[in-house]
Structure 1
């Protein structure tokens, strides 16, 4: 069965151009630059759905927002938290009160002052129900934050206050060792209160209207064309920003990205063709960089649908039937790690390792036998075939994964017992459909926002906007709440481990693999220390020629 499945996968991925062995089209010399002498051109992989910090929930938007806005804190290339718009801060002994001291004489890109009132306004937006931030959970631990999110108090009740024009005080409900890292997230980039009040929440992000606090300002935004940023001369550290312009290209097709890189039209790729990975590594070793990423690729099962919500055995069968080893070795082949847990084994230095499903250690034949039994016991078979559709955003990699998993399900359960279709959608359309549970099975992925298990546990919480499967176990939420309250680091880890196990027993998502990312960087680009960037959070102010 295993050999037959792998053989079928090889046939599938070969037909998609995954197994090609192409070598002739590569040159050992570096890609030549085009006409952009004082501009870096970056492939961003997709159109950015939004440039509003409070509304971002995706990699493409966040990458650009890191350039346009800065938070009270920032981060260096080792992903360590460093001062941002706040030059210093004080933390009370009980770790519940943070007092931030802003840098003196800072200005937005239009020359107006950045004040404590702008910081207060930015934090209020993240919890304001009218803004409807998908990341409103970032404000839930601030005093009154959850009540505001629940529309029980006005945003002005948030315990973020301006002590004076350059001092901000924030009061927390419980201690959070990750709070400074949260203050460096793109969602809490500081925006201009007067700018948004002038144009409104929907229009202020347009070129010519947007005012920025980061190293760059928005110059042009052509939907499905490009986004052009220019250096913000009012940025507090403008003297150390070397590149005057950054152009982001939404190149969805990986082969096109590679072609444009080789011709000198782009300087940094986003992703590259899977089938040419080994060839690229061999032919362009100084330009190719592969990095293990703190993130998970997984599938959501829509738990609002009775066929999933009311059938645990079906959910178990679908997860167990996926041959993750074949997926990462045959289909992907970029050193990804098979995933059998809802968190990685690497987050927080491995404190949450060892939570894999017990059946992950079984032989493949035993996994298949048990999956078939569970599927039969779930009520499906030749006389009652399961109809299932896999949704994904338009992308060659996602398509290949969907075809492979569909093939595995049909191979394990029988083509007469399960009918699998796949459907791609444009990025914005896909996000909306997934967020509103308008799907059957949906591809999902999560790159940790910072090195904390909280980046993953939020994904499975009842009512969390990032919980796309919509599964809900109240005991899970209760254990996480207890973990937040405890002052004991050991007890925190123990409570969270128990919570994760409860979520995994729900089988609402199918973990598939831990990400790696690989990209090409033109040798002319200096200052980008990619090897240690396991979160893949990037700021263009690091780039130099």
Structure 2
């Protein structure tokens, strides 16, 4: 999701300088020699774009220029990476097990970009025998085999790898290799979205596995796969990086990418530029220095709509949502929700936020209408749970927390938080988990350069001050923030999720106990066996009737409203934009980059 983390993974491909700008190279046949030449030329383009971006853009020819803000990706290991920026690059380097038909947004056998050619299901619906396509290969010539998928499951269950995929243990019982191109995936019970949880991206197992099948897990943990010398499958290969400035990809060498079966690569590369913030990103786009935007900040949408030479595509609900969340557990003593035997571990409570009524007070103290106006200029929707209006599981009977500072003060006082010394900040006087006299003061983090989150944070800081809560609001480097969440060493954050594609209402990944592990996605340590059970019931409902499933997810939304794993959240309407010099752009809702390999750039 843009943490910006992926909520679940995108299921198809949408990580000594040569000086001087890139010379346009048209490659109808990419030999290994020409592949290396294009890599060298693209490295030169990286330098040129940093030194003279406008001039360099004119010389880029058929190379597509995208962008992100904050930081470049630093980890393109599909087992351990957890950010959307890195996922955008990884989707272009390694195929996933299953693919999606972009027109229907349905997972299908033999879909482009997926390794699965076909699958059969056992009579009891719990065993999937998956046959893989046999024509993918790594850049060293090694075929992509079933081991390259099964190793992700082995990593999850090894207990030796910090991975955001840990939540998959809620959906999968076992993954077995039958032969080089056959996998057997076992699930605990029939599931309405089973294949959607089979998403593992290819990982080069032959680099870390010996002939007896023993894996060097330390190597898996430390591999970032962020060098041009690292292996990839395609359609692109990592060419070069300038940290926190640019990441460049080039098409893989001729013969590596199965163009006949998976479609041609019609451009000469892709560069992901890093810009300082969204304002800079928009200005560079309007100046023609960036070719497309996967998200347009609401305060600049009027500029995009009125600009000449630019096309756009809008959709609602959008595929991203931002949230304000607090850690339910003590950040000085993070621990998983369950032990190695699956039993719940009693959590060391956060001194401020472990009590549910305190979280409810925070929700009453924040005016979300102000947030929608200031952060997204009205182009978004308040969310009273994890489901946005317009999604098929939305339950309009779940109430919103009304903005009511007086009610917030009452709840805080009932929880033992009052201002006895008259300094304007409430202190603990009979509270549950903090020492007597402890002021209600905490640090709130978000990622640098995100203007809507900065506006969100400023409102939270100001409005919580009105009920006696002191907030130190800080913007920090995105990768530093991600590490804090992975390690669960924070008080409070503002971040966001980009929904899975296709959309799935199953949020076990971020609100289930299986995700409450170091490196997992339940960073706030929300522990609720009731939420686990509701998610399980909706997934395994006999017959999979959508209306009945929606009713169960509605109960989960009500539980979310009461427990507040996150305090408040809102979704932003979607908008894509691209230069008219791009040819082949054919967007779908929540899916702009599905055919990036077929885009071309003309002057």
Give the Cα–Cα distance (whole angstroms) in 1 for the partners of residues 523 and 263 of structure 2.
43
Compared CA separation, residues 439 and 40, structure 1 to 2 (3 A):
same
Indicate the residue corresponding to 2:9 in structure 1.
none
Q: In the TM superposition, what is the alpha-carbon distance from 1:220 to its structure 2 partner?
A: 1.4
User: CA separation of 1:388/1:209 partners in 2, compared to 1, >3 Å: closer, same or farther?
Assistant: same
Question: Structure 2 CA distance, aligned partners of 1:514 and 1:342?
Answer: 10
Distance in 2 between residues matched to 1:379 and 1:50, nearest whole Å: 44
Q: Unpaired segments of 5 or more residues in structure 1?
A: 1-30, 144-157
Q: How many residues align?
A: 485
Other-structure match for 1:52: 77
User: Which residue among 392, 398, 401 is the counterpart of 2:453?
Assistant: 398
Structure 1 residue 442 displacement after superposition: 0.7
What residue ranges of structure 2 are gaps of 5+ in the alignment? 1-54, 211-215, 331-349, 427-439
Shift of 1:64: 0.7
Deviations 1:82-115 (A, max 9, x none): 4222222223333222222222333222222222
Match of 2:206 in 1: 194
Change (3 A) 1:301 1:39: same
The match for 1:265 among 270, 289, 303 is 289
How far apart are residue 373 of structure 1 and its match? 2.6
Distance 1:310 1:132, change over 3 A: closer
| 1:151-197 C-alpha deviation (Å, 9 max, x unpaired) | xxxxxxx43222x33222222212223233334x4xx1112211344
| Residue 391 of structure 2 is aligned to residue 340 of structure 1 | no
How has the CA–CA distance of structure 1 residues 527 and 115 changed in structure 2, closer, same or farther, with 3 Å as cutoff?
same
Q: Distance in 2 between matches of 1:225 and 1:446?
A: 23
Contact 2:461 2:471 in 1 (8 A): yes
Judged with a 3 Å threshold, the aligned counterparts in structure 2 of structure 1 residues 522 and 299 are, in CA distance, closer, same or farther, namely same
Could you say which residue in structure 2 is the equivalent of 1:104? 134
Which stretch shifts more, 432-441 or 193-202? 193-202
Matched, 1:511 2:568: yes
- Describe the shift of the 1:114–1:435 C-alpha distance in structure 2 as closer, same or farther (beyond 3 A): closer
Which residue of 2 is the match for residue 141 of structure 1? Answer: 171
The answer (yes or no) to whether the contact 1:89–1:98 under 8 Å persists in 2 is yes
Normalized per residue, the structure richer in helix is 1
Deviation, 1:245, is 0.7
Matches within 5 A, 1:252-401: 252-272=276-296, 274-284=298-308, 286-292=310-316, 293-305=318-330, 306-333=350-377, 335-347=379-391, 350-354=392-396, 356-357=398-399, 359=401, 367-383=404-420, 384-385=425-426, 386-395=440-449, 396-401=451-456
Q: Does 1:211 align with 2:235?
A: no
Counterpart Cα distance in 1 of 2:499 and 2:593: 10
Residue aligning to 1:113: 143
Number of the residue aligned with 1:182: 197
Distance 1:310 1:122, change over 3 A: closer
Q: Distance in 2 between matches of 1:281 and 1:135?
A: 39
| RMSD (Å), alpha carbons | 2.9
Partner secondary structure for residue 288 of structure 2: coil
Secondary structure of the structure 1 residue equivalent to 2:293: coil
Does residue 481 in structure 1 map to residue 518 in structure 2?
no
Deviations 1:299-336 (A, max 9, x none): 11111144434433221111122221221123321511
Kindly indicate whether the alpha-carbon contact (under 8 Å) linking 1:339 and 1:512 is maintained by their aligned counterparts in 2: yes
For 2:555, the equivalent position in structure 1 comes to 498
| CA positional deviation for 1:381 | 4.1
**Residues 44, 270 of structure 1: 8 Å contact kept:** no
CA contact (8 A) 2:371 2:455 kept: no
Aligned to 1:247: 271
Shift of 1:401: 1.2
**Does the C-alpha gap of structure 1 residues 243 and 181 become closer, same or farther in structure 2, counting only changes over 3 Å?**
farther
Q: Distance in 1 between matches of 2:135 and 2:487?
A: 43
Distance, in Å, in 2 between the alignment partners of 1:337 and 1:434 is 26
Deviation at 1:493, TM superposition (A): 4.2
Q: Please give the residue correspondences for 1:121-136 in structure 2 after superposition, counting only pairs within 5 Å.
A: 121-136=151-166
The TM-score, its normalising length taken from structure 1, stands at 0.81
Match of 2:31 in 1: none
1:80 equivalent among 106, 117, 127: 106
C-alpha distance in 2 between matches for 1:159 and 1:457: 20
For 1:339 and 1:54, the matched residues in 2 are separated by 31
> Is residue 2:580 matched to residue 1:523?
yes
Mapped to 2, the partners of 1:286 and 1:537 lie a distance apart of 17
Q: Which residue is equivalent to 1:222?
A: 242
Instruction: Tell me, yes or no, if the aligned pair for 2:386 and 2:557 is still in contact at 8 Å.
Output: yes
Pair 1:126–1:536, CA change in 2 (3 A): farther
Partner Cα separation in structure 1 for residue 73 and residue 397 of structure 2: 35
Q: CA 1:529–1:328 in 2, change beyond 3 Å: closer, same or farther?
A: farther
